[in-house]
Amino acid sequence: MSDERSDGPRLMTAKKHDGSKGAAWEKWKTEYLDAAAGKGDDMASWADTFNGTDQQVGLTAAQVRARTKRRREAYSSLLLHLDDEGLKATIRAEAGGAANATQRRSEKVRFVKEAHRSLNGFRHETARKETERKLRTYLSSSIEVP
């Protein structure tokens, strides 16, 4: 099946997912995973990759490269099948089509923590400077020089 545009990418489902939840999501997901079961390599299908049932430990270097390629292709296909930009952004942040989604998540968590620490440090420093400024103003106005 293909996208509504004749020059667009070929889709594995009848239509792209619009981001809706509930029964519409479940129906689309089933259709997509059924189609993804036919894609992949000798080790696993894209559906196995999405479900986390592909072999992930004890891989040779060649198998790791094949798994990396399979994950990249699977996530690329998934993003092509979505219309909801928010959902795409979440997938990019969580998995990013990268070979190691766990590493991507931990990098994101580390970035958020560092940003939070920096922001808190900025707030504390700003508050400290503001308090010093007020104290200087107060002291300079309340002390009379004889």
Query: What's the half-sphere exposure (Cβ side, CA atoms, 13 Å) at 124?
Result: 6
Instruction: Please determine, for residue 1, whether its predicted confidence score (pLDDT) is greater than 50.
Output: no
Is 54:67 a contact under the CB 8 Å cutoff? yes
Model pLDDT, residue 115: 58
In the predicted model, what is the mean pLDDT of the chain?
75
Please name the helix (run of DSSP H) or strand (run of DSSP E) that holds residue 35, with its range, or none: helix 23-36
Tell me, yes or no, if the pTM score tops 0.85. no
Euclidean distance between CA atoms 80 and 11, whole angstroms? 8
Confidence at 32, pLDDT banded by 50, 70, 90: very high
Q: Work out the average pLDDT over 108-119.
A: 58
Which stretches does DSSP call E strand in 1-146?
none
Instruction: Please determine, for residue 68, whether its predicted confidence score (pLDDT) is greater than 60.
Output: yes
Instruction: Please determine, for residue 62, whether its predicted confidence score (pLDDT) is greater than 90.
Output: yes
Model pLDDT, residue 6: 44
